[in-house]
Amino acid sequence: MDININGMNVHYEVSGSGKAVIILHGWGASLEVMRPAAECFNEKMKVYNLDLPGFGGSDEPAGDDWDIYSYAGFIAEFVRRLGIEKPVILAHSFGGRIALILAGKKLIPVNKMILTGCAGIKPKRGIDYYAKVYTYKLSKKISKIIGFFGNDYEEKMKKKYGSEDYASASNKMRAVMVRAINEDLKYLMPDIDAPTLLVWGENDDATPLSDGKTMEKLIPDAGLIVMPDSGHFAFLENIGWFSNIVRNFCAKDMEEV
């Protein structure tokens, strides 16, 4: 299915019936990655699984000033347009940033949240990170001074010194990504009143387990489950276990069809 919101064509899937669930994927992913998570609800809830703007089958964000708050506003409008009432939100990584804003700023009524490998805490940067950043910035200045290296040289530097997600994104999405990762959402967490289940991979190197522990402390009604020997996509690595956790957490919602 597709819907046009604020001039953007957005692709989404709907499955099941009953109380609502919204699934938000991570950066560089799509609704396809999240289909196993959608299946956890076993058709006993109405699941909306969508491609966020700029990913999968959805258009890139309209305008050049999109940030993580723009994504949250977009989801709030998606909820309004489709008449979704007090959904459960299941979000991974970048999608978790959106969920934190939706619940923390009360943009929509939220039933419960399931956040796995959730982003939203500004990472502590080591000297290696800053060395890469300053090397890239220096190379960019040099390329402009010398001139004949041109855009090809600058693009090579982005790929060499930037993350894989950054290197594979369009210029517009790179700007969105930079604005998102520099936003620390800890200030919103004490204001979240939705029961929140945090599911983390023990060896997550994108959003470290320490982030999950911080969220557990800051979100008033939160609990943390750690999946051993798992990484950033712990929910896919342990989909059977994850499915049981989700069904237990949402058992009452699944019964009230």
Q: Give CA angle at 54 (53, 55), nearest 5°.
A: 95
Residue 139: predicted pLDDT? 46
Residue 163: predicted pLDDT? 55
Integer Cα distance of 42 and 32 in angstroms: 17
Residue 166: predicted pLDDT? 59
Nearest one of 242, 188, 194, 13 to 87, comparing CA atoms: 194
2-122+183-255 homologous superfamily: Alpha/Beta hydrolase fold, catalytic domain (3.40.50.1820)
Residue 165: predicted pLDDT? 63
Location of each CATH 3.40.50.1820 domain in the chain: 2-122+183-255
Cα 58 to Cα 7, 21, 114, 130: the distances in Å are: 11, 20, 24, 34
Place of tokens 């970048």: 94
Residues of the chain short of pLDDT 50, as ranges, are: 126-143, 145-146, 148-149, 153-162
Integer Cα distance of 174 and 112 in angstroms: 31
Residue 18: predicted pLDDT? 97
- pTM for the predicted model, two decimal places: 0.85
- The predicted-structure confidence for 58-76, as pLDDT tens digits, reads as follows 999 988 889 999 999 999 9
Percentages of the chain per state (helix, strand, coil), in multiples of 5 = 45, 15, 35
Which residues contact residue 29 at a Cβ distance below 8 angstroms, ignoring those fewer than 6 apart? 55, 56, 92, 93
